Amino acid sequence: MGVFLSGQGELPEYVRKRVVILGVGNRLFGDDGFGPSTVQLVLRSTDLPSDVSVLDVGTAVMPVLFDILLSDPGPRRLIILDTADFGKEPGELVRVPVEQLPQTRGGVFSLHTFSAGSLLQELKDRKGVEVIILACQAESISSEIKEGLSKPVEVAVSQAAQIVLEMARA
């Protein structure tokens, strides 16, 4: 068995699950905390299926994506929650197809890394993983430490948690 990028010598538990939900972002930068805040709410749900893994990955999504890519068989569905700027109304939720993700960090949606788009495409194409990206339009993402979500994004967290729970049960 290979060495997984998350630093574990054996297959991480989350890659054995049917569905993996990842909250991406940094709570210390305002609305960038949407992903982690949403997964925390999902984790408090009493009806979360046992074959679903929910992780707050912060800005370190790449090791988890590589673990999934290297696992066999791995999850069938990957749900990613992150903040984005699509020029929509603050708090608006947008489902982003993998094919529409920019391939570089200079794009609108980065998943906090320059190559996440191509890696997600590989998961979809090569491994057959259904990749769902649910992004929330930020009101603002602070460049300085500023904890707490804006009101519109705070409302979106509960909406996103319900959507994600429905997707996890399907």
Chain segment 79-127, per-residue pLDDT in tens: 999 998 888 999 999 999 988 775 544 443 445 544 678 889 899 998 9
How much is the pTM? Answer: 0.85
19, 76 Cβ separation under 8 angstroms: yes
**What's the CA gap between 121 and 56, in Å, rounded?**
21
CA–CA gap between residue 38 and residue 98 (Å, rounded)? 20
Q: Is-contact 76 130, C-beta < 8 A?
A: yes
Residues with pLDDT less than 70, the chain = 1-9, 102-115
How far apart CA 31 and CA 45 sit, in angstroms, is 22
Query: What are the CA-CA distances from residue 152 to residues 35, 42, 59, 66, 139 (Å)?
Result: 14, 18, 22, 33, 7
